[in-house]
Structure 1
Amino acid sequence: MAAILSCPYHSFGSNSPTTARTPWIRPRFLGTHNCNAGPSSRRAVISFCSSSNNHQAHNKEKRRPFSMKECAISLALAVGLVTGAPSLDLSAGDAIAASPALPDLSVLISGPPIKDPGALLRYALPIDNKAIRGVQKPLEDITDSLKVAGVKALDSVERNVRQASRALKQGRPLIISGLADSKKEKGEELLRKLEVGLDELQQIVEDRQRDAVAPKQKELLQYVGSVEEDMVDGFPYEIPEEYRDMPLLKGRAAVDMKVKVKDNPNLEECLFRIVLDGYNAPVTAGNFVDLVERHFYDGMEIQRADGFVVQTGDPEGPAEGFIDPSTEKPRTIPLEIMVDGDKAPVYGATLEELGLYKSQTKLPFNAFGTMAMARDEFENNSASSQVFWLLKESELTPSNANILDGRYAVFGYVTENEGFLADLKVGDVIESIQVVSGLDNLVNPTYKIAG
Structure 2
Amino acid sequence: MNRIIGMLTALLLLAPVAFAKPVVKLETTAGNLTIELHEQEAPKTVDQFIKLVEDGFYDGKEFYRLVKDFVAQAGDVDGKSAGTVPLETSPKHRHVKGAVGLARDADPNSGTTEFYICLTAIPRLDGHYAVFGQVIEGMGVLDALNASPVEESYIDYEGKQVAFHKPSPPIRIIAAQVVSR
1:294-443 correspondence to structure 2 within 5 Å: 294-307=55-68, 308-315=70-77, 318-319=78-79, 321-323=80-82, 331-338=83-90, 361-366=91-96, 368-376=97-105, 378-393=106-121, 397=122, 402-424=123-145, 425=148, 426=167, 427-438=170-181
Structure showing the higher strand proportion among its residues:
2
For the aligned residue pairs, the C-alpha RMSD in angstroms reads: 2.5
Structure 1 residues 382 and 188: CA distance shift in structure 2, 3 A: closer
TM-score, L = length of structure 2? 0.76
SS of 2:22's partner is strand
- Give 1 or 2 for the bigger CA radius of gyration: 1
Greater RCO, 1 or 2 (C-alpha within 8 Å, sep 6+): 2
In the TM superposition, residue 388 of structure 1 has moved relative to its aligned partner by 0.3
Whether the 8 Å contact between 2:74 and 2:114 is mirrored in structure 1 is yes
Identity %: 34
Distance in 2 (CA, whole Å) between partners of 1:419 and 1:389 is 13
2-side partners of 1:412 and 1:392: how far apart? 15
Unmatched runs of 5 consecutive residues or more in structure 1: 1-175, 190-226, 233-250, 262-269, 324-330, 339-360, 439-451
Change (3 A) 1:184 1:363: farther
Residues 188 and 435 (structure 1), Cα distance of their counterparts in 2 relative to 1, 3 Å cut: closer
Residues 64-92 of structure 1: CA deviation (Å, up to 9, x unaligned): xxxxxxxxxxxxxxxxxxxxxxxxxxxxx
Preserved contact between residue 32 and residue 141 of structure 2 (Cα < 8 Å): no
Matched, 1:257 2:26: yes
One-letter amino acid of the structure 1 residue matched with residue 119 of structure 2: L
TM-score (norm 1): 0.32
Which runs of 5 or more structure 2 residues have no equivalent in the other structure?
A: 149-166
Q: Point out 4+ residue stretches in structure 1 off by more than 4 angstroms.
A: 229-232
- Cα deviation, 1:233-279, whole Å, max 9, x if unaligned, reads xxxxxxxxxxxxxxxxxx72111100014xxxxxxxx1111111101
Counterpart CA distance in 1 for 2:60 and 2:115 is: 15
* Distance in 2 of aligned mates of 1:310 and 1:297: 14
**Quick check: 1:187–1:230 contact (8 Å CA) kept in 2?**
no
Higher helix proportion? 1
2:24–2:178 contact (8 Å) kept in structure 1: yes
Call closer, same or farther: CA 1:436–1:404 in 2, change over 3 Å.
same
Q: Please name the residue that 1:293 is paired with.
A: 54
State the number of aligned residues: 154
Describe the shift of the 1:416–1:386 C-alpha distance in structure 2 as closer, same or farther (beyond 3 A): same
Report what 2:44 is aligned to: 283
| CA–CA distance in structure 1, aligned partners of residues 144 and 129 of structure 2 | 24
